[in-house]
Amino acid sequence: MLYVSGGDIVNSLCLPIGPEPEEEYPWDDLIAEVLGGWRDECGMSEEQENVLVDLLIGFRELSDGVQNRGTYEDYTYLLGVVISNAEPTDDVQGELGVVAAWLHDVLDEDAFKEYVDAAVQTTEPWDSDVELGEGELVSEDEGKVGVDASTQTDE
């Protein structure tokens, strides 16, 4: 289980780290959910949001098709290592960032581009709650990304 916590909110993702990929799973819905407000809800930084979205894109890209099976197994192995070496209270953003960087090395960069472009296209510049640049709105209690292996299953 992957937890994102900050302020009074904790959001969670159950990531499948077993040997069989979740074929035809609605990964895009999870990506949209994270992009749709987790940063504000949990005080996540943009970097934390990017790591989570990259991990979900990894599942989306590697879950369908037998041609990706070896890379999928490598991916879930790397996630399993992060999970097994972490305590529930540990912030694992750095470790997950390494896994996300690995995904950028093994996947076509276009897999990540569509979400970057979509975010740019859907930003409404007249939204009075959004400030860009140095005055960017961020929670003083920056979010934390953690895992809890005791809630994780291989199924």
**Measured distance CA(50)–CA(87) in Å, rounded:** 22
What is the structure's pLDDT at 135?
40
What is the structure's pLDDT at 104?
95
What is the structure's pLDDT at 53?
94
What is the structure's pLDDT at 56?
94
**Measured distance CA(127)–CA(59) in Å, rounded:** 32
**Measured distance CA(64)–CA(40) in Å, rounded:** 31
What is the structure's pLDDT at 1?
77
Nearest to 115 by CA among 11, 5, 17, 27: 27
**What is the full per-residue pLDDT of the chain (155 aa) written as tens digits?**
788 877 678 888 888 888 888 888 999 999 999 998 888 888 888 898 999 999 999 999 999 877 889 999 999 999 999 989 998 888 899 999 999 999 999 999 998 886 655 544 443 333 334 333 444 333 345 566 666 655 545 54
The answer to whether 2 and 15 have CB atoms below 8 angstroms apart is yes
The answer to whether 87 and 80 have CB atoms below 8 angstroms apart is no
What is the structure's pLDDT at 149?
58
Residue 127: how many CA atoms within 13 Å on its side-chain side? 10
What is the structure's pLDDT at 131?
39
What is the structure's pLDDT at 23?
86
What is the structure's pLDDT at 136?
37
Please report, for residues 9, 15, 73, 87, the alpha-carbon distance to residue 151 in angstroms, rounded to integers and kept in the order given: 19, 11, 20, 12
Nearest to 21 by CA among 68, 55, 80: 68
